[in-house]
Structure 1
Amino acid sequence: MDFEEKPFLRECKDIIEGSFGAYLNLSQQIGDLVNQHAQMVREAVSKLYSLLILTGNHSKPDTGIFMQLLKPLSESIMAIQEFREKNRASSWFNHLSAISESIGALGWVTVSPTPAPFVKEMTDAATFYTNKVLVAYKEKDKTHIDWAKAWLQFLNDLQKYIRVHHTTGLTWNSRGTPATASAGAPSAGGPPPPPPPPPADLFADPMKSGPGGDDTRSALLKELNRGTEITKGLKKITADQQTHKNPALRSSGPAPYKAPSSTSQPVVKSVAPPKPPRFELEGKKWMIEYQSGKRDLTVSDTDMSQSVNIYKCKDCLVVIKGKVNSITVDSCTKLSLVFDDIVSVVEFVNCQNIQAQSMGAVPTVNIEKTDVVEVYLNAKSLTAEIVTAKSSSVNVSVPSANGDFVEHPIPEQFKSIFNGSVFKTEPADKAA
């Protein structure tokens, strides 16, 4: 059978033409940076498919050659991630992040013996940002809802595909000739073959210096396995050549090693200069970045179409007055946030020691990868949904009838019990 007709390739094409094709079509409908990003993803998937064609025709090469074959794919993955970083201030940031945070799933070809769970982890990473898209465009534009679902469906389809055809890792044709760095895969109706390898190497193994890494290691192990035989070639030192028995040899031989003096010039490591703080309105997004020790950061000239992005701020107090669409707090430490009405969501990602107080209505508070959080709700925000993931020490305080705040810890542990058909999950440490 021609390798193009093998089931693992045919089913991969079905996924590319199905859920992945739907993602590409919806990205084109949205346009702008989302479509540009999608074309980069299309190129990366094309390179993955070309690699799979290669595995259907060749046996597994040595590690050095395999790393060279992976270079086109690794270059595409890095470019996709860099595109998001270059457009952090874009209104499409959540769309770009959903893709860049999970595009590493295409690197499953390097994972062994369990590549499918690796893709599942990438899917979970994408879900955080696709949820933002779902919240932002709920009852506004179904195209974006379908877009988010299509990308997640592609990742789920990829995971199922791997479980069937590459259960313990990338499968090669054991009866084929070993793949070479210059080997090309015929396209025959599929995506085009990969271009020449670029210099960057995302999947490079630092323990190997190149294609000969395995041979060098084997030679070393062979020498070590000689045991005492390895010392037979060493020259024996006689008593008259030992310096501890012949002091006169000490002055004529090389000077012994001396530890460097404590007064010697210390080695100064280069440190990247701190980035300048920002506090400005860029389009419809307030950018508050790299602030430190500021207790008077106030955004007052707002409207409900604007969002606020607070990034890498430390020991600051930020007050948001008026009604805004959303607030995102990313990679901040010891931050206090006070806000009025929110249209969609307030979220905290990768933060430490956060205090947040709602003075108006807020539909959703998302907390992910954040430790030590105090959220204070008022009477208007008691219906808020508190969504947490991979976070600890999260407490939500609500006002009581006498006006005092009552603190409620959010559970961190859960237990799941199989009821005969599905698992039922509930908190393992219910608050009294």
Structure 2
Amino acid sequence: MDPQPGVLDLSRADAAPKALFAEINSKGLGITGGLKKVTNDMKTHKNPDLRQHAPVPFKAKQPPTFKPMGKPKAAPKMPPKLVLEGKKWIVEYQENQNNLVIDNTEMKQTIYIYKCTKSALIVKGKINSIVLDSCKKMGVAFESVVSGVEIINSDSIQVQAQGTMPNVSIDKTDGCLVYLSKECLDCQIVSAKSSEMNVARPKGDDSGDFDEYPISEQFRTFWDEKKKTFVSESAEQMG
């Protein structure tokens, strides 16, 4: 029965090698008697004329060509946005806006500020939290937050609490000034991979002025034999 098209006939594929090996086994070295012999005039080591070849013409390599790179295309400018989506206020791509206001807030609402530049935002009422992400030269003043304020991947940021604020998180930010009110002097500030951070607290009088203090950027870590653990202290404590 002939094999189906496209299917390898293994029985026929093995037939030729098997026949060759069978002939070798039967004839031994005598199987080479039927091969064509090579005479001396066909051997290159005895006939130098056979080793002569026409010279290959030299062809210089062309230097690689490089296309000049054009200027990278600027990212398309996104439209500014200030809307309430569910329980989250979205403030995006605001530029050179110093009169942004969010009012009619609720305590369960949050505010997410993204890629805003050279602008200022005022938040009225008590909200849950505020996040500033990838902003530059941005200022935010608010009454009170329940959870806290987070600043990440930003540059030259100012935030001011007029009421309560339990904590502030500063991450990957260069240049940040946090104004505390009398109601949030116990605020905890946690920072990481940031520089030029300062915190301002109101003076004891009623002048409305603030005293400004730097937040340490450098720390020394050492083993405390009494506490049996590693302890970190700021550069100011080292001095």
The TM-score, its normalising length taken from structure 1, stands at 0.38
1:362 partnered with 2:165 = yes
Between Structure 1 and Structure 2, the one with more strand by share is: 2
The secondary structure found in structure 1 opposite 2:74 is coil
Aligned to 2:10: none
Q: Kindly tell me: are residues 268 and 419 of structure 1, through their superposed partners in 2, closer, same or farther at Cα, counting changes over 3 Å?
A: closer
Residue in structure 2 matching 1:409, options 205, 214, 221 = 214
Aligned to 1:426: 233
In the TM superposition, what is the alpha-carbon distance from 1:393 to its structure 2 partner?
A: 0.8
Aligned-CA RMSD value: 2.6
User: Which residue type is aligned with residue 232 of structure 2?
Assistant: T
In the TM superposition, what is the alpha-carbon distance from 1:270 to its structure 2 partner?
A: 3.1
Instruction: Report the count of equivalent residues.
Output: 174
The secondary structure found in structure 1 opposite 2:183 is helix
The secondary structure found in structure 2 opposite 1:429 is helix
CA distance in 2, matches of 1:373, 1:340: 19
The secondary structure found in structure 1 opposite 2:147 is strand
CA distance in 2, matches of 1:390, 1:370: 7
Alignment of 1:306-385 (within 5 A): 306-385=109-188
CA contact (8 A) 1:409 1:431 kept: no
In the TM superposition, what is the alpha-carbon distance from 1:431 to its structure 2 partner?
A: 9.8
User: Which residue type is aligned with residue 417 of structure 1?
Assistant: F
Between Structure 1 and Structure 2, the one with more helix by share is: 1
The secondary structure found in structure 1 opposite 2:236 is coil
Larger-Rg structure: 2
In the TM superposition, what is the alpha-carbon distance from 1:416 to its structure 2 partner?
A: 1.1
User: Gaps (5+ residues) in structure 2?
Assistant: 1-55, 61-68
User: Gaps (5+ residues) in structure 1?
Assistant: 1-232, 238-265
CA distance in 1, matches of 2:238, 2:165: 24
The secondary structure found in structure 2 opposite 1:274 is coil
The TM-score, its normalising length taken from structure 2, stands at 0.67
User: Which residue type is aligned with residue 75 of structure 2?
Assistant: A
Q: Kindly tell me: are residues 340 and 423 of structure 1, through their superposed partners in 2, closer, same or farther at Cα, counting changes over 3 Å?
A: same
Deviation digits for residues 145-191 of structure 1, max 9, x if unmatched? xxxxxxxxxxxxxxxxxxxxxxxxxxxxxxxxxxxxxxxxxxxxxxx
Aligned to 1:177: none
In the TM superposition, what is the alpha-carbon distance from 1:355 to its structure 2 partner?
A: 1.0
Report sequence identity in percent.
Answer: 42
Deviation digits for residues 6-44 of structure 1, max 9, x if unmatched? xxxxxxxxxxxxxxxxxxxxxxxxxxxxxxxxxxxxxxx
User: Which residue type is aligned with residue 425 of structure 1?
Assistant: S
In the TM superposition, what is the alpha-carbon distance from 1:324 to its structure 2 partner?
A: 0.3
In the TM superposition, what is the alpha-carbon distance from 1:274 to its structure 2 partner?
A: 1.2
CA distance in 2, matches of 1:282, 1:236: 69
Q: Kindly tell me: are residues 234 and 366 of structure 1, through their superposed partners in 2, closer, same or farther at Cα, counting changes over 3 Å?
A: farther
Structure with bigger RCO (C-alpha 8 Å, 6+ apart) = 1
Q: Kindly tell me: are residues 338 and 412 of structure 1, through their superposed partners in 2, closer, same or farther at Cα, counting changes over 3 Å?
A: same
User: Which residue type is aligned with residue 129 of structure 2?
Assistant: S
Residue in structure 2 matching 1:275, options 74, 78, 82 = 78
CA distance in 1, matches of 2:234, 2:81: 41
CA distance in 2, matches of 1:360, 1:314: 25
CA distance in 1, matches of 2:135, 2:59: 63
CA distance in 2, matches of 1:326, 1:311: 14
CA distance in 2, matches of 1:329, 1:236: 63
Aligned to 1:302: 105
CA contact (8 A) 1:341 1:361 kept: yes
The secondary structure found in structure 2 opposite 1:340 is strand
The secondary structure found in structure 1 opposite 2:108 is coil
CA distance in 1, matches of 2:113, 2:233: 33
